Amino acid sequence: MLPRGEDDSPMNDPYQVLGVRRDAEAEEIKRAYRQLAKRCHPDLHPGDDRVAQRFRDATAAYDLLTDPGKRARFDRGEIDASGAERGFGGRGGSWSDDLFSDSVISEMFRKGRSGRGERGADLSTTLRLPFLDAVHGGRHRVAVTVGRTLEVSVPSAVEDGQTLRLKGQGQPGRFGGAAGDALVRIEIEPHPFFRRRGRDILLDLPVTLPEAVLGGPVTVPTAHGSVTLKVPAGSNTGTTLRLKGKGLPAQGVEPAGDQLARLQVVLPEKPGRDLAAFLERWAGAHPYDPRRDAGIL
92 and 67, same domain (yes or no) = yes
Please compute the mean of the pLDDT values over residues 252-276 and round it to a whole number.
Answer: 91
Give the structural domain span for 60: 10-100
Final residue before a domain boundary, out of 152, 173, 188? 188
pLDDT above 90: residue 153: yes
Final residue before a domain boundary, out of 154, 188, 222? 188
Q: Is residue 106 part of a domain?
A: no
The model's pTM is 0.57
213 and 276, same domain (yes or no) = yes
CATH of the domain at 276: 2.60.260.20
- pLDDT tens digits, 58-107: 888 888 898 888 888 888 888 887 777 775 444 444 444 444 444 545 55
Q: Is residue 17 part of a domain?
A: yes
Final residue before a domain boundary, out of 188, 219, 234? 188
Q: Is residue 5 part of a domain?
A: no
The number of distinct structural domains making up the chain is 3
Do residues 185 and 168 lie in contact, with contact meaning Cβ atoms separated by under 8 Å? no
165 and 132, same domain (yes or no) = yes
pLDDT for the residue 103: 52
